[in-house]
A and B are shown apart, each in its own frame.
Chain A
Amino acid sequence: MSDSKNGMPAEKNDQVEKNDDQQYSLNDDRRVKVLSPGALIAKRFFRNRLAVVGLVILVVMFLFSFLGGVISPYGQDETFSTTTQLNTQYAGITETTTRRYTAAPDAEFGALVQANANTAINEGAASFERDGVTYTIEQPAPDLYTFSTGGATVAYASTYVVSVPAGMTAPSFDFQIAAITAISAANATEDAPAEDAPEVTEDGTVVVESDEGDAADEAAEAEAAGNTFAADGASYTFDESGNVMDGSGATVAMVSPFVISASDGNTVIPDDLREALLTAIDADASEVVYTDEAGAEHSYSIDYDAYSKVYNVTETTENMVYDRYASPSLEHWLGTDGNGMDMLTRLMYGGRVSLIIGFIVVFIAAGLGVIMGGISGYFGGWVDNLIMRIVDIFYCLPSMPIIIILGSAMDAMRLDPWIRMIYLMLILGFLSWPGIARLVRGQILSLREQEFMLATEATGITVPHRIIRHLIPNVMPQLIVSCTMSLGSTIITEATLSFLGLGVKFPFASWGNIISDVNNAFVMTNYWFIWIPAGICLLLAVLGFNFVGDGLRDAFDPKMNR
């Protein structure tokens, strides 16, 4: 204004300016505070306490879902294992309390003869007669009776049983008698346990380590102790638990009143374990800890079954299993689910899936709705009529049943969970556009009649430009409110479908399919940490969207002055 074109004196001009300054100064203290429309809306929005709460909830949920998955040390479908104690039947030990009769290979010593022999032994007779044959009874060792007739030994009776290690041939009759004689005699005289016998700890546990390697040593030791006998022209040594070894130290037979049979035919019970088990039985110990040659520790427990008179040996093994429904701990803050996956991590990834699905569905619906509603509202006439009838059809379609039908169809097709999720989004989006189309159309119908649209027409702006630049922005407030609200309802719909098993599928987590574990009543009543947190997350997220949507609606509405 200072250099005027119409040649007014500069002085006068200055005066006018001064005058203006006094009356309409633009000094800060005089300026009327005017907010831009956006700032006004923001101000109104932040004044609404519920809306702010909703915004906070949403921010927390987003951080939880999108950042949580990054921070969490576990993966979405990482499974965790735990060890459980598993008891398997290992062996049975029977103590022979009645004499067993063994006949020589070429002799016969039937049940009736055995009965007579028993009577004779109990009466202390030196011989007995049966079917015209006279049998002479001898007792070479405390627990061994031999029966001979005509100078030849035909049978023996003992509570000791001779058994052979797997894969060896049965020893000869003479060997058996010699072995039992020696061992029975040795056991009768021996009071103190041998030096290298397994020790029994105070709490009744026998701890042994495998010493298969020094078998020769052991044989020498046994020999030194005088535990030797000769049979069939060879000499053998034996130890205190009845293992008979030949000259090289290899075990050729076991002689003992205890019969040990492995439950599993393929299991070979090592000598020293055998020894340990027998010592344990002797000492009334119930636990045996055995370290085998490879250094692996096995623990066995022995319990006596009085009914069948068998000592049952069970091996306790540790098995790795999925850590299912583990209670919350420091390691897993919300425990683990039915697949042994970390619940908190699943919850984070589930939130990601639920939120992303919500956004994509609403994006599809809003896109379709704005286009269809825009065309319908702007052009009117038969286009409008056609689109509105399509909208009517969609309104009339029962959407939940349709989604359920499509869900079970996808079930039947056994779609890949990933593809299935994409289809789910498309279906949900496609079924929910008509509401937005109707809203946009209604808005545009009223906006179309306003003066600014006349102005756009007069200035010759093209039709797409008019719709996109001038109509749509005016619909935006309503659209944003509607989209925010439908985000919440979409998340609920998706969760409901996943809950029914028709939505997002394993291995993907979604809040709905996490909760679907409660279909098992046991999980519902016993494992609250499986489904309550997911339900609360779901509730909070939807609540957040609704609070914010509600706040936005109030903020956009100029009538709602506070």
Chain B
Amino acid sequence: MRTYIAKRIGISVIILFCVTFIIYGLMRALPSSYVETMAMQLSQAPGAKPYEEWLAQLNAQYGLDLPVPIGYVTWLGDFLTGNFGDSWKFNVPVLTEFYNTIGISFAMGGLAFVFSTAIAVPLGIFAATHQYSKGDYIISAVALAGISLPTFFFATLLKLVFSVGLGWFDLYGLMGRDFAQLDAVGQALDMVNHMVMPVVTLTVIQIGSLMRYTRTNMLEVLNADYIRTARTKGLPEHKVIYKHAFRNTLIPLVTVIGGSLPGLFSGALITETLFMIPGTGYTSYQAMTAGDIPYTMFFLTFIAVITLLSNLLTDILYAVVDPRVRIS
């Protein structure tokens, strides 16, 4: 077991190097980088140096005059020593910006995760136990519709109905206009109010696949011999389903839950952008489109690390939950 984990971590580190190198190369290859924009601005100030000189100076300042591999090594050295640099776009240290935004993303992701699990798993079980019934058809259709629903379309529909039509929520943002005048409770309520639509969007988008996954796995388990045995020995149906079948369905569900861990931290890029929620997703979107190398590098590396860790965790959990699985 220990050697297995060590080996997996070793491979993960190599993968991480490759991934960060690819991302770094991509960021460097952006033709109109942040630096060029800035040099253009600076050179237009009265009495400023010409554009080329500014460009050269800024490139040297940000280490962009180095070739990509050397630049990558430099970045890696800084990163490993905990020097993440300052965000170009937001003009604050990368970590500060990250700390400021991760909380809201995590809260939203967590809420959506809890809601979607609480709704999807029971419905999935119901669909499986009532296979080919009307309920099953409806649930399957809804699940597929949830998967097919483009986030941006659903979010816009929500906005049209609840914000424009009914006026319950604001169209954008996390804080209302009178946020500063509210007391602590009011501020909290205001933020909750602004988070309703994004969380609903996230929940609806996630529900579909989870529901289907539960249904498929539950069906597989229900076809197993030991379920027939349980029935033949005269156990009540709910005991068969919830004690014998559902427990075994939990095993593949662990994989899904492990797989959704990175999503909690990375923030919902599209949803946050649509609602302009200042979470990591929206922030990183702005950083990416602006060519902000330090922030993007930090953020994407962070996600890669979380992804690898959660994969590892899922595999280990798998062995822990299911004694039949032996890691070799």
Residues of A within 8 A of B (CB): 49-50, 389, 392-393, 395-398, 400-402, 404-406, 408-409, 412-413, 488-489, 492, 495-496, 499-500, 512, 515, 518, 521, 524-525, 528, 531, 535, 538-539, 542-543, 545-547, 550, 559, 562
Contacts and interface: CB of A to CB of B under 8 A. Distances in A.
B19 A408 contact: no
B9 interface: no
Interface in B1-58: 11, 14-16, 18-19, 22-23, 26-27, 29-32
Contacts of A515: 152-153, 156
Determine chain B's interface SS by DSSP, over half rule.
helix
Contact of B288 (A50, A405, A488, A525): A405
A405 B22 CA distance: 12
23 contacts: A50-B137, A389-B11, A389-B15, A392-B15, A395-B307, A396-B15, A396-B19, A396-B304, A397-B19, A398-B303, A402-B23, A405-B27, A405-B30, A496-B152, A515-B152, A531-B156, A535-B150, A538-B150, A539-B153, A543-B145, A545-B148, A546-B147, A547-B144
Interface string B139-174: 011001101111111001101100010000001000
Contacts of B308: 396
B270 interface: yes
B132 interface: yes
B270 A496 contact: yes
Interface residues of B, number: 50
B26 A402 contact: yes
B284 interface: yes
5 interchain residue pairs of minimum CB distance: A412-B32, A542-B148, A535-B153, A543-B148, A408-B289
A408 B303 CA distance: 20
A259 B14 CA distance: 90
Given A408-B289, A535-B157, A550-B140, A500 B273 contact: yes
Contacts, number: 121
B230 interface: no
Contacts of B285: 404
Nearest to B301: A398
B31 to A, nearest CB: 5
Contacts of A395: 307
Given A401-B284, A518-B156, A488 B147 contact: yes
A50 B141 contact: yes
B291 interface: yes
B22 A397 contact: yes
Given A389-B15, A547-B144, A398 B266 contact: yes
Contacts of B149: 539
Given A50-B141, A404-B289, A562-B132, A542 B150 contact: yes
Contacts of B288: 401, 404-405, 408
Contacts of B164: 524-525
A138 B160 CA distance: 79
Contacts of A402: 23, 26
A543 to B, nearest CB: 4
Contacts of B157: 535
A152 B47 CA distance: 71
Interface string B42-86: 000000000000000000000000000000000000000000000
A50 B144 contact: yes
A194 B23 CA distance: 88
B181 interface: no
B16 A405 contact: no
A138 to B, nearest CB: 70
Counting chain A CB atoms within 10 Å of each CB, which of B14, B152, B288, B299 scores highest?
A: B152
A225 B299 CA distance: 95
